[in-house]
């Protein structure tokens, strides 16, 4: 699913109107009906609905939704914030239809807001995706007041005050939605930590915009349709050699669990053969909990040091629990020098690179780096907002021809000027070892002849989907990294179905 700018969305609206021979008002009615239908499934007849509209097309959606609710017998009041004199043509049309059924309330200051009933819903249709400037002062005050109410808050297409495709200032006032009903695709700003919490739960509504058109975007939302386009079914006439040989290198005293989580996740990802190089104590444990894996004992009792092995492999994964000692640095440097195949680097491997930037020159093409936000800052430097972070990450990826998997709520896979943003989002992933599991999954997929980019995209989706499937049965609070591995089979099954 492509993520478009407001200008592109406007063009897509026009292309749809022309191709389907419909009016812009009909397209607006479709959007209003889709949003209303979803809300009507949740509302009961006792809830009071307050619809707040501006003067643009977003207001037109609000007016149309208010009429639908009235026709259903619900208790509705409509408030207009006239920050300019004239309504947009389609908003005016819906205003004229609605004025036969209801008396509008014009709001120009906070004192004109109603006393909200306890069981109430506030619908924000003030500003849509086209906003690119600071809100008028009185609108800021109204939104701030709405944010303080106990009402259930719903934003239509985009929370008012939030820029869809550019960075807000930290001081900006933004409607604090519990639910955002957005049309066609998510907006880029929804997927960043800066103001993403203002979106609440996000529902994407298909309003029938064209799927086949000339518009291009460097931003992709990784949904199930996207995953099905890259997922490879296993061949009947195949064997373990068909699905690759992965070598994982990691673990030090006190951190053996990290390499074990990665190893088990790699096997569950479908890799044909796995060899794990780790300290002797970890080998003993690994032979018990994962007998399917082959092992090489590190020559050091308690940590990783460089040593050669004389067999072929599809890829290396390194960094999980290796620490940042001189021995770990030597191991990473030597493996980087001696392999021409893409390598996955995680955790302390990334910290070693941050401390020794010359290692970046040794990265094999299409290698995968999997930093969380703190590790990313050490790699690319600080940023002022998430849009700047994305630009810096793209430049880094292009300079070193590597894939960056930026781990956060909406994990981002960045390769050169493209960003692929994961849709399987789960707060349960904020737990120790979650990143080790992801490293195992992605490196296992690379070994199975997925490209590094495909493996990263599929890996983050499976990782999040495993969490979603666990949380469907249990609690987001109880999720631990091992659960992700246990539910990986269910995640694959969901894709295959």
Mention every residue, 6+ apart, whose C-beta is less than 8 A from residue 103: none
Mean pLDDT for back-to-back runs of 10 residues, the chain (497 residues): 97 97 98 97 89 97 98 96 93 96 94 91 97 95 97 98 97 98 98 97 97 94 96 96 97 94 98 96 94 94 86 95 94 95 97 98 98 98 98 98 98 98 97 98 98 98 98 98 98 95
Position 64 scores a pLDDT of 98
Tokens at 383, concatenated: 């940023």
Position 44 scores a pLDDT of 82
C-alpha–C-alpha distance, residues 258 and 278, integer Å: 11
Q: State pTM to two decimals.
A: 0.96
The per-residue pLDDT for range 484-495, each reduced to its tens digit, is 999 999 999 999
Query: Length of the chain, please?
Result: 497
Mention every residue, 6+ apart, whose C-beta is less than 8 A from residue 372: 406, 407, 408, 435
Position 38 scores a pLDDT of 97
Where is 379: in which H helix or E strand?
A: helix 373-380
Strand order in the sheet with 120-125: 105-106, 75-80, 48-53, 120-125, 152-156, 179-183, 201-205
C-alpha–C-alpha distance, residues 385 and 387, integer Å: 6
C-alpha–C-alpha distance, residues 143 and 5, integer Å: 24
Q: Assign 269 to helix, strand or coil.
A: coil
């Amino acid at each position: 699913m492509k993520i478009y700018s407001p200008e592109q969305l406007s063009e897509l609206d026009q292309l749809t109107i022309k191709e389907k021979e419909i009016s812009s008002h009909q397209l607006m009615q479709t959007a209003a009906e889709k949003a209303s239908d979803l809300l009507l499934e949740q509302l009961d007849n006792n809830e009071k609905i307050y619809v707040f509209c501006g003067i643009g097309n977003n207001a037109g959606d609000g007016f149309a939704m208010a009429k639908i609710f009235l026709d259903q017998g619900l208790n509705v009041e409509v408030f207009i914030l006239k920050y300019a004199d004239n309504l947009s043509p389609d908003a005016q049309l819906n205003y004229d239809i609605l004025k036969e059924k209801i008396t509008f309330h014009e709001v120009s200051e906070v004192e004109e807001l109603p006393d909200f009933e306890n069981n109430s819903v506030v619908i924000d249709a003030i500003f849509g995706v086209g906003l690119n400037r600071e809100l008028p002062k009185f609108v800021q005050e109204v939104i701030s007041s709405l944010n303080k109410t106990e009402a259930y808050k719903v934003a239509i297409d985009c929370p008012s005050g939030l820029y869809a495709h550019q960075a807000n200032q930290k001081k900006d006032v933004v409607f604090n939605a519990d639910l955002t009903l957005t049309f066609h695709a998510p907006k880029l700003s929804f997927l960043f930590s800066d103001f993403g919490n203002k979106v609440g739960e996000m529902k994407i509504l298909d309003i029938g915009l064209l799927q086949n058109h000339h518009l291009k975007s460097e931003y992709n939302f990784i949904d199930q349709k996207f995953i099905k386009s890259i997922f490879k079914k296993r061949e009947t006439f195949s064997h373990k050699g068909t699905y690759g040989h992965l070598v994982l290198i990691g673990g030090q005293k006190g951190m053996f669990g990290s390499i074990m989580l990665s190893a088990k996740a790699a096997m569950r990802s479908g890799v044909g053969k796995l060899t794990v190089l780790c300290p002797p104590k970890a080998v003993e444990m690994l032979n018990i909990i994962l007998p399917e894996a082959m092992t090489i004992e590190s020559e050091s009792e308690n940590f990783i040091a460089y040593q050669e092995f004389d067999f072929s492999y599809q890829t290396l994964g390194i960094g999980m629990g290796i620490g940042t000692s001189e021995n770990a640095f030597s191991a990473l440097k030597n493996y980087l020098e001696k392999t021409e195949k893409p390598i996955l680097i995680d955790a302390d491997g990334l910290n070693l690179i941050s401390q020794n930037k010359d290692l970046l020159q040794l990265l094999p093409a299409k290698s995968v780096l999997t930093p969380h936000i703190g590790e990313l800052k050490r790699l690319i430097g600080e940023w002022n907002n998430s849009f700047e972070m994305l630009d810096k990450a793209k430049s880094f990826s292009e300079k070193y021809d590597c894939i960056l998997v930026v781990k956060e709520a909406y994990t981002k896979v960045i390769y050169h000027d493209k960003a692929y943003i994961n849709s399987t989002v789960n707060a349960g992933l904020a737990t120790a070892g979650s990143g080790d599991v992801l490293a195992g999954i992605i490196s296992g997929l690379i070994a199975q002849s997925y490209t590094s980019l495909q493996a990263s995209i599929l890996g983050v989706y499976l990782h999040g989907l495993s969490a979603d499937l666990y949380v469907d049965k249990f609690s987001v609070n109880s999720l631990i990294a091992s659960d992700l591995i246990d539910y990986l089979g269910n995640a694959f099954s969901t894709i295959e179905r």
